[in-house]
Each structure stands twice: as C-alpha cells, then as structure tokens.
Amino acid sequence: MLVIALRRAGQAAMSALGGGVIVFVLLIAAPGDPARRILNIRGIEEPDPSEIAAVRAELGLDLPIPVRFLDWFLGLFRGDLGLSWRTGKPVASEFASRLPATVTLTVAALLIAVGLALLLGVLAGWRPRGPADHLSRALSTVALAFPAYLIGVLLLDLVAVRLGWGRVIADGTWGTVFLPAFTLALASAAVWSRVLRSALLDLDAAGFLRVSTARGASAARNMFVHRLPNALPPFLTVVGLGAATLLGGAPIAETVFSWPGVGRHTIEAITARDMPVVTAFTMIAVLAYVGVSLVVDLLIMVIDPRQRQSRVREAARP
C-alpha cells in the first residue's frame, strides 16, 4: 500500500507539473502585449517604446521563457501568485480575502449535490423503469439540459424576486448560500445519480443478493445493507472528481448571484484581461483536481478490497 501511495503521489505531482506547463503556455500564447495592456489599464492609451520596455523589465517579460516558467512555477509553491495587472496588489492576498466565501459555496454545493444524487440514484435503482426511475431520469435530463447560468437567473427571479425568499445580492455567508449552491450542484447531482443508478443495477444479478433474499431480507435491507455499500466505490470516484470541478464552475454561480468569492473576481479579471489572476485561479483549480483525485483513489483502495488487491498485483509487476 505504501508503494502504491507513493506511486500515485508521484503521478499526481507529474499531472500538476503538466497542468502548470499548459497554463503557462496559454499565458504566453494569449494575444497582445501584456506590458502594453498594463499601461492601458493604468490610463496610458498610447505608450511609447521606453514605457513598454520598462514595464516588461518590471514584470520579467524580457527574461528567457524557461527562466520565467521556473520562477512562476516555484512561486506557486511559495504562495506567490504574482501581482494583479489591474490593482498592482498580490493576487494571493486578493484571493485570500475572497476564498472563505468560495469555500462556503463549494462545500454547500457539494453537500446538496451528494444528497440529491443519493436520493435520485436510490429511487431510480430501487425499481428500474418504475415511476420513481422515470421521475429521476426526467429531473436529471432537465438539470443537464439547461446551462447553470440560466437556472441561476430563473431561480433568482422566481425565488428571490417573486417569492421574496433569499436575497438578490448574496453576502457570502451560510444564510444566503442555498440558491447559488443549488444552482452549482444541479448538474453534478444529475451525473452522479446516473452513475449510482447504473452501479445499483449492475448488482441485481449478484449472488449475495439472491442469498439475502432467500433468507427473507426485505427490499429496504437489500438496498441499504447490501446493494448501496457495494455501489459506493464508483459513486465516490465521480463525487471526488466532481467535487474539484465544482470549484471550476463557481465563477458562473458567483456572478449570477453576486457572490463575493474568488470565482466572481476571476470573471472580472477575464473581462479586464488580468492574466495573473486568471492563470492563478486556473492553476488552483488544476491542483485541487489533482489533489482530490489522489485522495479519492487512495480512499477507494481502503474501502474496496477488490481495488486494493488489483493495485497490489499491479505494483508487484516488474
């Protein structure tokens, strides 16, 4: 197990490095001169070459690309995300003041998504092709068919404006988190519920279920004692991977509901072409995805003996 954990940690580190390379390449490939863009933001519409050269030297843009990449990538591990082109302040400090609101939103969305997925998945897997299954599939289809921003606007208009439940402008606290979290959670809940349903149906022909039924076990006992625990590994896998993607989807919900988080700040940075903020958010999302994937992979090996034995055999191969 230790060898497997170390190997997975090494793979995660390589994935993070690969993600860093891609993000940095995209930063370099972005159209326009960053120095000229910064001067435009500072109010200098037609900068002369000496001003552009001074800003390029200030940002280190005149250094060789490998040196710039190494300095940028090592800065990530020091917590140095660079300076915002718009404000001139450290990106890390701007993110730190907004991160609690984003964490609150992401955690609430994760709890709602897991709860909805378990409810819809169990209802659908209990009696396949029954009324509950059709209802679950219809709700999942609707959640996937409509984009998150449209669902957010509809909820904002119907619930907050017409019914007066909640606030139009959220304040980043738990008291106003439900509507944006629900908007962020819907698509993930739809996907996760379909995965859980499939995992439950795959167990219908399992021998242990026939034995349990022959011994007089009720349908509820078979579901919650035998079927659901054995269907959890694939469900937990998609939940773990999807939990990291919730962070990437946060900007949409935060913008619709004026949530004062990192995502909304990043959308504003995209509008202003503030690349250090955009790339910092992208890299944080990449690291979150890689880290959560590693934790979920190790957790699955702990709770599922089949996965553990398979990985042990794989690690034992020369």
- DSSP class per residue in 202-240: HTTT-HHHHHHHHTT--HHHIIIIIIHHHHHHHHHHHHH
Higher-confidence residue of 32 and 194: namely 194
Give the pTM.
0.79
CA distance 37 to 40: 5
Quickly count: other Cβ atoms within 10 Å of residue 232's Cβ: 17
The one-letter amino acid code at 69 reads F
pLDDT in tens, 78-117: 878 888 877 878 888 999 888 899 889 999 999 999 999 9
CA distance 283 to 291: 12
Residue 212, judged by CB atoms within 10 A of its CB (0-12, 13-18, 19+), counts as middle
pLDDT in tens, 234-287: 888 888 878 877 877 788 888 888 888 898 888 888 777 777 888 888 888 888
CA distance 311 to 11: 14
Task: Judge whether residue 301 has pLDDT over 80.
Answer: no
CA distance 288 to 86: 26
**Separation in Å, CA 27 to CA 35, 53, 57, 72, 272:** 13, 19, 17, 11, 15
**Separation in Å, CA 203 to CA 24, 61, 196, 239:** 45, 58, 11, 20
In DSSP notation, 103-132 reads HHHHHHHHHHHHHHHHHHHHHHHHSTTSHH
For residues 196 and 122, the answer to whether their CB atoms sit within 8 Å is yes
- pLDDT band at residue 311 under the 50/70/90 scheme: low
As a whole-number percent, the residues of the chain with pLDDT over 90 amount to 3
List the structure tokens of 252: 């949409």
Sorted by sequence, the CB contacts under 8 Å of residue 81 that are 6+ apart come out as: 75, 90, 91, 92, 95, 276, 280
pLDDT at 309: 57
pLDDT at 108: 93
Least confident of 100-109, 116-125, 176-185, 306-315: 306-315
Mean pLDDT of 285-307: 75
DSSP one-letter code for 53: H
Give the DSSP H or E segment for 312: helix 305-316
Sorted by sequence, the CB contacts under 8 Å of residue 165 that are 6+ apart come out as: 159
